[in-house]
Amino acid sequence: MRKHTTAVALAAASALALAACSSAEPGNTGDGDGGGDTLTVGIKFDQPGLGLQKGAEYVGFDVDVAKYVAGKLGYDEDQIEFTEAVSANRETMLQNGDVDMIFATYSITDTRKEIVDFAGPYFVAGQDLLVAADDDSITGPEDLEGKNLCSVTGSTSAERIKDDYAEGVELVERPGYSECVSALASGAVDAVTTDDIILAGLAAAQEDPTVFKVVGNPFSEENYGVGLPKGSTDRCEEINTAITEMIDDGTWDELVATHTEGTGYTANAELNPPEPAACA
């Protein structure tokens, strides 16, 4: 009897240990329903149309792509925990295990790939210009000579235009893109610059989304990827499969249209929808 009791106790302890390990392992999808785990996803909290916190909810293209991918990995929406991923902290968050993955207009670069992994891309953006809807004088960066251009403090977007396209442009810095849009609305600046889909999201967030327009002449290429901890090859392949399914079933097109509705924006057809790259 004593031997039987001991064996039962050992078996129960082993089962508990295995369950604890399973629930602690990031990204464990169990039997396809998330295994009871949570998935921590980094997003932007302050980018209309892409990643925006609205009370207790999170909305935007990046948010919906993350939900779709998480669903394909076996997670229900109530198993996703969104957390803010500020641009300067993204690599650190992945390295420290603060997040399982990041969907936050996170451009894939060789420098970043040295310390983190990427799945995707799930969108290819390009630097563009936001102008007043009735302004036909600006059709590209070359038209900004002598005009006022707004970009966020610390961004290299405006400097790129000054260096490569319009030496005489007057650069105006604001702490955030909402302040740039306000300056555009008041006539204090002639244009705002950053990635095209970010500009479209800013326009869509206005009470009247038709007051501004994205010029539609992108002059850079930014591949938005899913940031992952280094060594996440298997998870990268799972995410790439989900992204491909999202494109093939029409969800990708629907999400782009939903989050830029009313602006007249269309994604660059030469670059989108993207084809996910091979995982390392």
pLDDT in tens, 107-158: 999 999 999 999 999 999 999 999 999 999 999 999 999 999 999 887 888 9
Amino acid identity for residue 50 in this structure: L
User: How much is the mean pLDDT over the chain?
Assistant: 88
Higher pLDDT, 30 or 56: 56
User: What is the structure's pLDDT at 280?
Assistant: 78
Task: Work out the pLDDT band at 176, boundaries 50, 70, 90.
Answer: confident
Task: Write down the pLDDT at residue 36.
Answer: 54
CA pair distance 54, 34, nearest whole angstrom = 26
Q: What is the pLDDT of residue 9?
A: 43
Percentage, residues of the chain above pLDDT 70: 87
Give the pLDDT of residue 29. Answer: 38
Q: Report the pLDDT averaged over residues 3-23.
A: 41
Model confidence at 1, pLDDT cuts 50, 70, 90, reads very low
With beta carbons less than 8 A apart as the criterion, state whether 236 and 228 touch.
yes
* Over residues 61-72, mean pLDDT: 98
Contact between 39 and 73 (Cβ < 8 Å) = yes
Range with lowest mean pLDDT among 33-42, 146-155, 197-206: 33-42
Q: Are strands 46-47 and 127-132 parallel, antiparallel or unpaired?
A: unpaired
pLDDT at 69: 98
For 208-260, the pLDDT digits (tens) are: 999 999 999 999 999 999 999 999 999 999 999 999 999 999 999 999 999 99
Decide if domain 32-125+222-259 falls under CATH 3.40.640.10. Answer: no
How remote is the C-alpha of 84 from its chain's centroid?
Answer: 11
Q: Would you state the pLDDT for residue 153?
A: 85
Q: Enter the tokens of residue 205.
A: 């967030």
Q: What average pLDDT does the segment 34-55 reach?
A: 89
CATH of 127-214, one of 1.10.630.10, 3.50.50.60, 2.60.40.2580, 3.40.190.10: 3.40.190.10
Domain with CATH 3.40.190.10 in the chain: 32-125+222-259, 127-214
CB 87 within 8 A of CB 102: no
